[in-house]
């Protein structure tokens, strides 16, 4: 390793130590702001972890006089961005659901059995084609009708990871089905 690489590692370690010091001194303040801003305990915990990483990436400048004020403003900006991301995600899901509103059960009751068989085939394909984490998240969410929070607890990961697994997995399945349809 070159001296420059060692210097980069020392600089990164210094940023981590700085973030750790800020968190040890202001953890309760940070948590209270996050709970107040988002109102959801699970999301507040995720954002708490994200803010630590944000603080490592961009430490508090040395010339800041009021650290609590700086922390409040940084968290306000981060939570605003996080809420906006979630709203955009839900908007995309809503638009997709509106496009795919048609059900085959409208016309004949026998179609319910056909739909169930096709659904089972689809979940079998999902299990074969996707990595375990993505297929498990999709199955828990859509087959077992769990919320993202419930899926996160069952899988032992945070909600953002579950959302990402589902999003990436569904994208891969749509792409696979599209390619299969074109062939």
Q: The CATH number of the domain where 124 resides is what?
A: 1.10.10.10
Q: Stretch 149-159: mean pLDDT, rounded? A: 92
- What domain count does the chain have? 2
The DSSP string of 101-137 is: ---TTTT-TTHHHHHHHHHHHHHHHHHHHS-HHHHHH
Task: Output the CA–CA distances (angstroms, integers) from residue 183 to 81, 107, 110, 115, 180, in the order listed.
Answer: 41, 30, 30, 24, 5
> What pLDDT does residue 104 have?
47
Domain boundaries, position 49: 3-91
Task: Note whether 84 and 14 are same-domain residues.
Answer: yes
> What pLDDT does residue 152 have?
93
The domain boundary, picked from 63, 91, 119, lies at: 91
Task: Note whether 116 and 155 are same-domain residues.
Answer: yes
Residue 53, token pair as written in the block = 């990483």
Q: Using an 8 Å Cβ cutoff, are 55 and 16 in contact?
A: no
Burial (0-12, 13-18, 19+ Cβ within 10 Å), 122: middle
Q: What is the pTM of this model?
A: 0.42
- The residue behind tokens 């953890």 is 27
Write the pLDDT tens digit of every residue in 85-132. 878 888 888 877 777 665 444 556 666 677 778 888 888 888 998 999
């Amino acid at each position: 390793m070159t001296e420059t690489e060692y210097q980069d590692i020392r600089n990164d370690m210094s940023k981590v130590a700085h973030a750790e010091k800020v968190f040890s001194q202001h953890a309760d303040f940070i948590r209270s702001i996050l709970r107040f801003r988002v109102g959801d305990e699970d999301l507040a915990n995720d954002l708490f972890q994200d803010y630590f990483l944000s603080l490592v990436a961009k430490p508090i400048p040395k010339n800041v006089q009021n650290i609590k004020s700086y922390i409040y403003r940084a968290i306000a900006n981060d939570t605003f961005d996080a809420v906006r991301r979630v709203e955009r995600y839900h908007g995309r899901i809503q638009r997709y659901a509106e496009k795919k509103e048609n059900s085959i059960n409208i016309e004949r009751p026998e179609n319910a059995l056909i739909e169930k068989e096709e659904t089972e085939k689809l979940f079998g394909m999902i299990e074969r084609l996707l990595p375990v984490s993505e297929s498990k998240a999709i199955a828990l969410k859509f087959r077992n009708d769990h919320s993202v929070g419930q899926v996160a607890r069952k899988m032992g990961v945070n909600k953002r990871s579950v959302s990402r697994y589902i999003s990436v997995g569904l994208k891969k399945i749509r792409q696979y089905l599209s390619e299969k349809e074109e062939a």
